Amino acid sequence: MSKPAVRHLSKTDPTMRALIRRVGPCGLAIRNQQPFETLPASKMRRAGFSRGKIRAIKHIARKARDGRVPTRRACHALTDEILIERLTELHGVGQWTVEMLLIFTLGRPDVLPVDDFGVREGFKIAYGRRKQPTPKQLRRFGERWKPYRSIAAWYLWRAAEKALHRKIEPAVT
């Protein structure tokens, strides 16, 4: 998935090409989990669950048992849009959570989480903007990255991460 994506992103966007060169090979790793395992995991805290989190986990577990949360195999037959619509109906599951599942668990190559702070911050940094784009602006700009918007998002996260590390790393004297 990575080589054609990098080729496409580099060809369609000079700024993305420069970011790819700075960051290096895409290290997007896909987790081998069932969607049910992924959805509660994003809501868990070590040893101390809030009531709301426990309620969300129990709700997701019931819906998984009832077949509302599809298996990994069943997910492959469903579009991103259908999965987002279906899973965000679950208590405690929002669009961002499903987008992370699509990218990191199902390996979907064309998901752009426009509401993600790190993606928007990475865009601001990589493209030399004074402020983050709105989700609508990022969605429109990201059209050029189709069908590899997940890979573009990964590189934007790296841009934000590298900028954060530069700010917090002590200066070498």
User: Are the beta carbons of 146 and 112 closer than 8 angstroms?
Assistant: no
Active site residue 116: yes
Q: Using CA atoms, how far apart are residues 149 and 154, in angstroms rounded to an integer?
A: 9
CB of 47 within 8 A of CB of 84? no
Residues 9 and 151: beta-carbon distance below 8 Å: yes
Give CA–CA dist 57/92, Å, rounded.
8
Catalytic residue among 13, 66, 80, 116: 116
Alpha-carbon distance 35 to 114, whole Å?
21
| Beta strand segments in 16-119, E | none
Three-state SS at 146: coil
Catalogue the active-site residues.
116
